[in-house]
Each structure stands twice: as structure tokens, then as C-alpha cells.
Amino acid sequence: MSSISKNDNVSQPPGQHVVFFPFMSKGHTIPLLQLARLLLHRRRHISVTFLTTPANRPFIAQFLSGTASSIVELPFPEDVAGIPAGVESTDTLPSMSLFFSFINSTELMKPDFERALKNLDPPASFLVSDGFLWWTLESASKLGLPRLVSYGSSNYFMAVRTALTLSGALHRHEPEREIITVPSFPWIKFNRNEFKYPVLQNPQAKELMTKCDDATNRSFGIIGNSFYELESVFIDQWNREIGPKIWPVGPLCLQAQPESCSATVVHQWLDEKLEKDESSSVLYVAFGSQVEISSEQHREIAKGLEESNVNFLWVIRKPKDETKDCLPDGFENRVKNRGKVLTDWVDQTKILNHRSVQGFLSHCGWNSVLESICAGVPILAWPMRAEQSLNAKLVVEEVKMGLRVETCDGTSKGFVRSQGLRKMVEELMEGEMGKEVRKKVKEVADMAKKAVEEGGSSWQALDSLIDEACKFGAKRDSEMYG
């Protein structure tokens, strides 16, 4: 059974009605929440409804507070093998080994999802659902509803992955050819071991992605959380040769979002660094909420940061009971004058926009890359899973706004020694290459801001998206109801 609420009891205006259904993961949900706030700000007669589960509802409600939006609550499937009761988000999974089982379990929500769509008043104009929720296409099609897809990934990744998949380059067993050239983009080359996308090793993942890709191919279009100037070559190639159409409407992290005071203590610490020395710079270190890092690797990171002699703010995401085991004895005391370690959630966007933060050691999740771009902060790329290795190549080789950490075996899952980390941390924060990428990222940040301004490329793309999707819906209504 579903339940509906209105934020702040604000009635919805008549007109276009957009329905959002994000995948149950904060990294996938936040961009769609940002897009929802943008739509409500930009289009006076648009109404927004978010579909979510009971455990995810408070986060969504807080983000959308003060807006004329609605929330429809759908029950999450019960008794799913391996998924503990009450776990309704990948952020709370006991292990990422359950990731694909979790995704597949969402299909059990289909009956409640369809009932919710049918009961919406006014009827939906179009649906925006996550790419992992492939099964929503069939439900939307029953109602003649256009489905727009959101993957929350770079257009570079989508275009390169598709080119490699269609060519079969990654499946050929040619040990003598370790360097792979990407079809359609011959300047992009990488070592075979560098591309460790899970579809290649996991049959369950391959089956899932086949379903997701098929549903995407038959959908109305794709919402790109990017901007045209950043990825024009890959957007144009996709729209010209692959499809469905991508509308680059980002970076969505530049759009209005609710104020947060959660970073007060952190900002006081960063402010103190500037008070002591106006030229003081801080390296921000964070690897997202889903990356699993061993205690041994944590200790190597700690040693590298300690020996680098740079100021740093390090956010560690891990089970609370491992807090003492993952850092060397006395580490925090030895670095207390220049380093701070946090284990709680922080407002990453606010940290990156602090004047003292001049570098970001990152896993290169796409949201983190965009937040770093918008803040004008260069990246020291350390990809660890999924599409992050390709995001890192975009950052380092295409945009040239970052440097790359080298692993022992050259793969994204390879081990990083403290000496190598120290070397690249110092280069980013103090070296000549660091100066170059810092200059470049400032230029890209300016382009991002112009893209979302009135008349900019992302501004125009959003207008085009809404108009085309709503025209499709109006044509559907005319055909169905005369």
C-alpha cells in the first residue's frame, strides 16, 4: 500500500507533472532531487512527485522541504535472500557483494509502482527513472508515458563502454595485445587490465546490464548530469550514432539545494588553517559511501599522508567497529596540527568550495567529479570500482584537470603503497603538474557555471527536454482520448 504527502501542505499547480523514481542509493538519488528542485524553480506550472520507499523517504522529504512536491511511498520487497530486513538502500548494505541481488529485488515493486502511476492526479506528463530500474519502462509504456533514464554517470563512460561492447574488443583473448584502442575514439587507449567493469567478470551483472541497456534503448531519452562543453565529442557521437537522445542538463550540483549546517565543525577547522596562513592549502580525501577499503590499505594511505607533510581532511567511510584497526597507532595525534580524520557524513560540496581546499584525492564517482569541477578543485584520481576508471581517464587525459595515483598492478583495484601516494599528493598540492591542472580546472569551472546560467547550454537543454517530453505526452493523450 502506498501513501502520499505534500511538503509543507503546498498544493500542486495545474500543468506538467513530472514523476521521479530514483534507484535506492544516495549517489543516484541526489542528482534527481537537484533536478526536481531545478524544475520547480524554472517552470512555474510544473508539479513534481517522487516515488520512494519508507526508509528512504525522510532523506528525500528533507531535501525537498519547502517545495511544492509530493512523495509517494512504495513498500520495499520483504524476505529478499541476503538482504536484511529494513535495508532499503545500497548505502546500508552489509556488503557490496549483495549489490546485484539488491537491484534485481526492486522488480518486485512493480505492482505497487503501476498502481501509484495510475492513481496520480493530475496524470504524469513523463517519468524519470533510474537506469537500474529497467522494469519501469514496461509499466510506463502501458500508460503511454515517456520514460527518461538517469544513470548518474558520465557521457564519456557511456559512449566508450558502448563502443567497446559493440566491437567486442574486451572479450577477445589476445594476450599479445595488451593495449586496446577504443572504436570511434582512436585517441583513447588503455591497458586491458585497466578496464575492470563488473559485467565482464560477473554473469549476474552481465544479465542485469543487458536488461538495463535494452530498456534504455527503448526509452524516450537520457538525462545527462553533465554539460555540453565538457563532453561535446561524446554527446554528439552518442546522439548521432547510438541513442536515445541525451540531454546534458548539469552540473545539477550547481542548482539550488537546501542549506546544511552539518559541516560547521569541519568548516571551523578549515577556517583555522586560513587564519594561521592565508596561503594554507588542504587536501580533501574521500572515496564515497560504497567503496570498501581494507585496513591494510587504510594504513598505507595514513602513512603516505603523514609523510607528505601536506594539510589534509580525510573522511573515512567504514564500519564503526574498525575505526581503531585501520589507522596506525598514534597517527591522529602525530598529524593533529595539519590533519583531521572524520568518520561521520559531511557536506562534500561545502567542503570542496571552502577557500582552503586546493586538492581532492577521490575515487572519481561521477557526482564527486562534478562537485570538484564546480568548486574549481583539481583531482588526484584513485578509481576503485565500476565505471570510476573511465571517469578517471576523462579527468586526467581528456579534461586534464587532475593527476592519477598509480596502483601496484595497474588496475583500479590494485594496491597503492604509501611512497607512491606521497609522491602524487605532493605533486598535486605543490608540484608543477599540480599548478597546471589547478589552472585548467578553474577554466572548466567557469564553463560549468555559464552552462547552467540563463541561455547557457544546460539551460537550453532542459527547456528542450521538457518541451519534447510533454509534447510526446500530449500526443499520447490526444490519440488515447481523442
**pLDDT tens digits for range 77-94:** 998 888 998 999 998 888
Residue 386 confidence (pLDDT): 77
What pLDDT was estimated at residue 272? 86
pLDDT at 477: 54
Boundaries of CATH 3.40.50.2000 in the chain?
A: 16-255+454-481, 263-449
Q: Are 115 and 2 in contact (CB under 8 A)?
A: yes
Rounded distance between C-alpha atoms, residue 84 and residue 82, angstroms: 6
> Do residues 368 and 386 touch, judged by C-beta distance below 8 A?
no
pLDDT confidence of residue 176: 45
Q: Are 27 and 367 in contact (CB under 8 A)?
A: yes
State the pLDDT confidence band at 406, using cuts at 50, 70 and 90.
confident
99-136 pLDDT, tens digit each: 889 999 999 999 999 999 999 998 999 999 999 999 99
pLDDT given for residue 201 in this prediction: 63
Distance CA(171)–CA(186), nearest Å, equals 18
Is the confidence at residue 238, as pLDDT, over 50? yes
What was the pLDDT predicted at 95? Answer: 83
Q: How does pLDDT run across 421-477, given as a tens digit for each residue? A: 999 999 999 999 999 999 999 999 999 999 999 999 999 999 999 989 888 755 555
First vs last C-alpha separation in the chain: 33
Cα(453)–Cα(447) distance, rounded to whole angstroms? 10
pLDDT, mean over the chain: 87
Query: At residue 20, what is the residue type?
Result: F
pLDDT > 70: percent of the chain: 88
What does residue 3 show for φ and ψ, rounded to 5 degrees?
A: -130, 150
What are the strands, taking DSSP E only, across 33-132?
46-52, 69-73, 126-130
Does 177 have pLDDT greater than 80?
no
Q: What are phi and psi of 375, to 5 degrees?
A: -85, -10
pLDDT band of 60, cuts 50, 70, 90: very high
CATH number belonging to domain 263-449: 3.40.50.2000
Is the backbone peptide bond immediately before 244 cis, with ω within 30 degrees of 0?
yes
Supply the pLDDT for residue 2.
45
pLDDT at residue number 321: 47
pLDDT tens digits, 339-368: 999 988 788 999 999 999 999 999 999 999
Whole-number percent of the chain with pLDDT over 90: 61
- Decide: 380 and 428 in contact? Cβ < 8 Å: yes
Give the CATH H-level superfamily of domain 16-255+454-481: Glycogen Phosphorylase B; (3.40.50.2000)
Query: What mean pLDDT is predicted for residues 164-189?
Result: 77
Nearest-5° Cα angle at 343, 340 to 344: 110
DSSP 215-252: HHHTSSEEEESS-HHHHHHHHHHHHHHT-SPEEE---G
